[in-house]
A and B are shown apart, each in its own frame.
Chain A
Amino acid sequence: MPIYEIVFYTFSLVMLASAVAVISVRNPVYAALFLVLTFFSASAIWMLLEVEFLAIILILVYVGAVMVLFLFVVMMLDINVEPLREGFIRYLPVGLVVAGLMAAEFLLVIWTKSRFGPEAFPSPPPHPEGYSNTQAVGEVLYTNYLLPFEVAGIILLVAIIAAVTLTLRHRSGAHRQNPSRQVQVQRDERVRLVKMKPEPRQEG
């Protein structure tokens, strides 16, 4: 099926090119948008692997939500574009060491043919009619992987608490309206009746 190969190579090429663009364009907003393109191409490749649920979740969660966070961070930091180029030479040795280590790790994985390559991963047997990847995920997620699933819930809870404690600042001096208190107010709290003698009329 040639169309399969065409789609695969097209999306792989787009993904690699946009991934390079993410780290090479100077404007961080453009980098974030290139990251969207990378996620989208990855999702298309996952779709080719017939993992439709994960592919759509990738678009929903990463493209839809995580990228919003990235853009917010970029806009919150108020990045000036010019100073980003400074210090390139200064950080070059450290960067080269890290890049060399990563390249060595990649090569170690790729060169061991027994663990990597088309021979090590034969294509899975064709699925029967009516096979649903989402259903397959559900069948193992809520039985075999029950504990990790509940732990994921705890991690999300921790994320809620962490996000709120880190970012929530109650602005002092902000006047807030409390409708419930407004309704419950009694006459005595607002009006003070003062008993006094009638004053004689001032002449003049």
Chain B
Amino acid sequence: MLAEYFPVLIFIVISLVLGAVLLLTGGILGKLLGHSQPDDEKASPYECGFEAFEDTRSKFDVRYYLVAILFIIFDLEIAFFIPWALVLDELGTVGLVAMFIFVIELVIGFIWLWKKGALEWE
């Protein structure tokens, strides 16, 4: 089975090597061959030519968090579907009913949060 995943390993190695090569050429060869004369103005951060308006570490609205958490919950729901779909033939009616109850549990939550307006952005 592991042999089937050998191409993935090769891809990981290739991407690591490629990343290292790019970093080395940019970081070391670029330093050696190019010339850099940074000054305060050049090295300062800017936004399209303006001074930066605020710090990068600005607070996020909590609503992004709500979207992310709802995504995780329904992501997990989908994850439960994958092994179920593979063995549905053997499970028969029991498996169908089991998944039906599971989905209904989550659909109740989905309808509730829809009615509550959690998906509205305002």
| 6 contacts across the A-B interface (CB closer than 8 A) | A142-B99, A157-B106, A159-B69, A160-B109, A168-B66, A169-B62
Cβ-Cβ contact count across A and B, 8 Å cutoff: 143
Residue in B closest to A55 when the chains form the complex, CB atoms: B5
Total interface residues on B, using CB and 8 Å? 49
Known contacts A48-B2, A150-B102, A161-B109; A139/B59 CB under 8 A = no
Q: Which residues of B contact A (CB under 8 A)?
A: 1-2, 5, 9, 57-60, 62-66, 68-73, 75-77, 79-80, 82-84, 86-87, 90-91, 94-95, 98-99, 101-102, 105-106, 108-110, 112-113, 116-118, 120, 122
The one of B75, B90, B113 in contact with A160, judged by C-beta atoms closer than 8 angstroms, is B113
> Do B68 and A57 touch across chains, with their CB atoms under 8 A apart?
no
**Chain B residues near A168 (CB, 8 Å)?**
66, 116-118
> Do B2 and A50 touch across chains, with their CB atoms under 8 A apart?
yes
Closest beta carbon of chain A to B115's beta carbon, Å: 11
Bound-state CA distance A76–B70 (Å) is: 17
> Do B68 and A65 touch across chains, with their CB atoms under 8 A apart?
yes
Q: How large is the interface on A (under 10, 10 to 19, 20 to 34, 35 or more residues)?
A: 35 or more
The one of A47, A65, A142 in contact with B71, judged by C-beta atoms closer than 8 angstroms, is A65
> Do A157 and B65 touch across chains, with their CB atoms under 8 A apart?
no
> Do A65 and B82 touch across chains, with their CB atoms under 8 A apart?
no
**Chain A residues near B76 (CB, 8 Å)?**
61, 156
Closest beta carbon of chain A to B112's beta carbon, Å: 7
**Chain B residues near A61 (CB, 8 Å)?**
72, 75-76, 79
Residue in A closest to B103 when the chains form the complex, CB atoms: A153
Interface members, chain A 109-142 (any B CB < 8 Å):
127, 131-135, 137-139, 141-142
> Do A78 and B57 touch across chains, with their CB atoms under 8 A apart?
yes
Residue in B closest to A78 when the chains form the complex, CB atoms: B59
**Chain B residues near A131 (CB, 8 Å)?**
1
Closest beta carbon of chain A to B91's beta carbon, Å: 5
Known: A53-B83, A167-B63, A169-B62. 19 other contacts (CB 8 A): A50-B1, A50-B2, A65-B75, A75-B59, A134-B82, A137-B83, A141-B80, A141-B83, A142-B99, A143-B94, A153-B105, A156-B105, A157-B108, A159-B73, A161-B112, A164-B112, A168-B116, A171-B122, A176-B122
